[in-house]
Amino acid sequence: MDQVKNSGFKKDVEDDTEIIPHTPEEDFVSLIYHSVDEAADRELLLLQNRNNISPTCKRGCFECCGQYILINRSEAHALGQFIRRRFSADEKDRLRSRTRQWHIWNDNRTGKYPLSANPSADSRNGRPFCPLLVDGSCSAYPIRPITCRTHFVCSSPSFCRFSNNHKTANTEPLALTSVVAATKLFSQRLKDRISSNGTDFSLETMLLPHWLAIEMRWDFAISI
Ligand code: SF4
């Protein structure tokens, strides 16, 4: 925990603790996220200074939110706490509806979980965007999962768009994988904590909309 610093986000939501008390699990996730952000920023600065490489990811570009996002139980819990605390009843209803639509789409798709062996079945082809995406922005941005916090590319945004629909070697986005590597220590700490009570971490990792429905106890959630 020595390298995990205090989170600005935790302070940001503390005002509401009387309504939805903070849990040790979500606080731990917030601390991990803060450290992940710091490590990612350091690596991005290094890439800029040493290699003159900077991400082409910009506000308003959300094509990666159409990818399959894997999260674990603790991240789902932190998301749920944020939603319960911050979303209005209408926003929760709309989120529930988008998540349900995603489940309907997922139940009827031909590919296998989480990705199909058939690349054409993996192209977006009508796949709904992440249910948390609202008007092109992440509605849970402060508590978005590690996968979302560490994904950066240095290629044209059109490559991300194209790769969601047609996978070819010429248009594969150029991901800044060193950012993921630089943050690995912290994602590992989250895994270690989840595994510390004997839980099999691989069974704790599922697609975001699945975990979201389970965490929110919506009636269409898959059973685990
Ligand atoms: S959690 Fe937010 S950033 Fe991540 S895929 Fe969903 S909308 Fe995009």
| Ligand 1 nearest atom to the CA of residue 140, by list position | 2
What was the pLDDT predicted at 125?
Answer: 59
Element (H, E) at 67: none
Q: Quote the number of domains for the chain.
A: 1
Q: Which residue's CA is minimally distant from atom 5 of ligand 1?
A: 65
Å from CA of 40 to ligand 1 middle = 17
The vertex-114 CA angle with 118 and 148, nearest 5°, equals 115
Q: Is 115 helix (H, G, I), strand (E, B) or coil?
A: coil
Å from CA of 140 to ligand 1 middle = 7
| Ligand 1 nearest atom to the CA of residue 134, by list position | 7
In-domain check, residue 221:
no
In-domain check, residue 148:
yes
Mutating to test ligand 1, I would choose from 57, 63, 64, 65 the residue with most ligand atoms within 8 A of its C-beta, which is: 65
CA distances from 94 to 99, 140, 200, 208 (A): 9, 14, 33, 16
Å from CA of 120 to ligand 1 middle = 23
The rounded distance, in Å, linking the Cα atoms of 191 and 55 is 27
In-domain check, residue 3:
no
In-domain check, residue 222:
no
In-domain check, residue 205:
yes
DSSP conformation letters of 66-104: GS--EEEHHHHHHHHHHHHHH--HHHHHHHHHHHHHHHH
Q: Which residues line ligand 1 (CB under 6 A)?
A: 65, 69, 130, 132-133, 138, 140, 144-145, 148
Mutating to test ligand 1, I would choose from 132, 134, 135, 153 the residue with most ligand atoms within 8 A of its C-beta, which is: 132
What was the pLDDT predicted at 166?
Answer: 59
In-domain check, residue 224:
no
Greatest C-alpha distance within the chain: 53
Q: Could you report the per-residue pLDDT of 159-211, keeping only the tens digit for each? A: 887 766 655 656 788 999 999 999 999 999 999 999 998 888 877 899 999 99
Q: Could you report the per-residue pLDDT of 72-113, keeping only the tens digit for each? A: 999 999 999 999 999 999 999 999 999 999 999 988 877 555
> Residue 104's domain spans which residues?
8-215
What was the pLDDT predicted at 168?
Answer: 60
